[in-house]
Structure 1
Amino acid sequence: MAQSFDYGFVIRCSCTLSFTLGLFVLMPVMLNLFSSPLSPSFSINIFDDQAFNMTTRTNLTIHFGLKLKNKNSAIGLHYPDQLNITFSYFPNVSMIVSLAYYNLDGFYQGNGKGRLVRDVVETSSFPGVLEGTDFIAFRVDLVATYKYKLAGSKRHKVELGCVVGVNVTNGTKIQMGFNRLVEPGLDSKLKKVEYNSY
């Protein structure tokens, strides 16, 4: 008498094996994606597509591009408040003078998405050369809040900045392209200082 093969047993074993593998392989990956979300990154580019003219001493128009990157492949980000950008310059190493302000309305940024904002801002005066040098030291500061698209997520605040030097003799930037915005204090040039007005 021929023995019958139990297909139900094979199917049950396959399902159990698949479930176990999924539990032990996929679960740590999912936990890693959602338990330690990454902060967004910000970088800015000023004057790359603009001739910097030192002969005119009227107010300066700054053309800029701001990149915002959600580095989380499985979590979206909300920017619930306006993002505030301040453009300033250093007349000397101990003083900073504000030139212009720019506000970007809050928005949603999907999983792993980037956004490039291109715009112009008119300054309130013309910047002066950094004392003892032949370049203007611009500073860009960004203040923003964001929330992860997760249940119970709280608002996180970032205060970031960078320094961009422009040579006044030939109008070229010391560092071309986008500059990463970092926390003040990580770079000695970005220590938090009080703003002054001329």
Structure 2
Amino acid sequence: MAPNCCACCTSFITSTGLTILFFWLTLRTQHPKCFIQSLYIPSLNKTITSTSNHSHNHSNNNTIVFDLKLVNQNKDKGLQYEAINLTFNLFLDVNTMRPLTNVTLDGFYQGHGKTTEKWSSGEIHGGGVNRTVQGSIFFRVEFATRVKYKILFFYTRRHRFSGGANVEVNVSSGEKVDPKGVRLGNVPARLGSDAAPVRQYWVSYSTFFVSLMFLAAFT
């Protein structure tokens, strides 16, 4: 009798554990990733030396052209995006920015594990963009939207999804310097601050481990 009881308990625990694991994997969600794949400002392009009307119009093309890439990391869940609001700012110095333009992209549905790229443009307001900081031109790009996850046949509640990054642009070509996509994440809106949190964490962890070694040596 006892062996049968133990076998039943073991079977019940195993089944319950597998059921919980299944539901956890089914309901677990991952935020998508957002990148600026391409960023181009035609008015900064100095490679066109012709004095034709086409060149004149090109140099006075006061727009920002960009490619936004969105990656759904969920292999078994779809995503419904609401309208995506993007803001573009120009760095005047390491701390100060000037707003340039806002662009809104229509919402859309993205399938399981899919990657979507959205090309768009915006008109620059408030003057030129040939302001250099530390020898380069830097833009601050931020986005904000809400997403719903599609699990089987149902949608979850809306989740806020936002981020930003500092994007360096070539002063002569008007193109983004980094050939890879720049992820719009939790980068501070300050030039030269990317490494600051890393240094801060390194100092904190170093202090922690030194303290542990000190206590271990004298206890």
TM-score by length of 1: 0.70
**Contact map agreement 1:161 1:190 (CA 8 A) in 2:** no
Correspondence for 2:77:
75
Number of the residue aligned with 1:7: none
**Distance change in 2, residues 1:116/1:169 (3 Å):** closer
Q: What is the identity, as a one-letter code, of the residue corresponding to 1:135?
A: S
1:46 and 2:38 correspond: yes
Asked if 1:121 is matched to 2:122, the reply is: yes
Cα distance change of structure 1 residues 44 and 32 upon mapping to structure 2, 3 Å threshold: same
> Is the aligned partner of 1:94 residue 2:95?
yes
CA drift at 1:44: 0.8
Q: Secondary structure at the match of 1:34?
A: helix
Residues 1:176 and 1:50: Cα distance change in structure 2 (over 3 Å) = farther
Shift in alpha-carbon separation, 1:142–1:175, aligned structure 2, 3 A: same
**Which blocks of at least 5 consecutive residues in structure 1 are unaligned?**
1-19, 192-198
Residue 172 (structure 1) shift: 5.5
Describe the SS at the equivalent of 1:129. Answer: coil
**Residue equivalent to 2:5:** none
Q: How does 1:1-198 map to 2 (within 5 A)?
A: 27=19, 30-47=22-39, 52-53=44-45, 58=60, 60-79=62-81, 81-124=82-125, 125-131=127-133, 133-150=134-151, 151=154, 153-169=156-172, 171=174, 173-185=176-188, 189=191
Q: Give the fraction of aligned pairs with identical amino acids, expressed as a percent.
A: 31
Letter in 2 for 1:117: K
| 8 Å contact kept, 2:42–2:63 | no
Going from structure 1 to structure 2, the CA distance change for 1:170 and 1:128 (only over 3 Å counts) comes to closer
The Cα shift of 1:95 comes to 1.1
Distance 1:170 1:146, change over 3 A: closer
Output one character per residue of 1:122-164: Cα deviation in whole Å (capped at 9) or x when no partner: 2113214234x22111111111110111447221112211111
Larger helix percent:
2
Summarize the Cα distance change of 1:35–1:123 in structure 2 as closer, same or farther, 3 Å threshold: same
TM, length-normalised to structure 2: 0.64
Q: Determine if contact 1:86/1:141 at 8 Å carries over to the other structure.
A: yes
| Structure 2 CA distance for partners of 1:74 and 1:27, relative to 1, 3 Å | farther
Q: How has the CA–CA distance of structure 1 residues 76 and 173 changed in structure 2, closer, same or farther, with 3 Å as cutoff?
A: closer
Q: Which runs of 5+ in 2 are unaligned?
A: 1-11, 49-55, 194-219
Report the residue type matching 2:117 in the other structure: L
Across the two proteins, how many residue pairs are aligned to each other?
A: 169
Residue of structure 2 in register with 1:16 after alignment? none
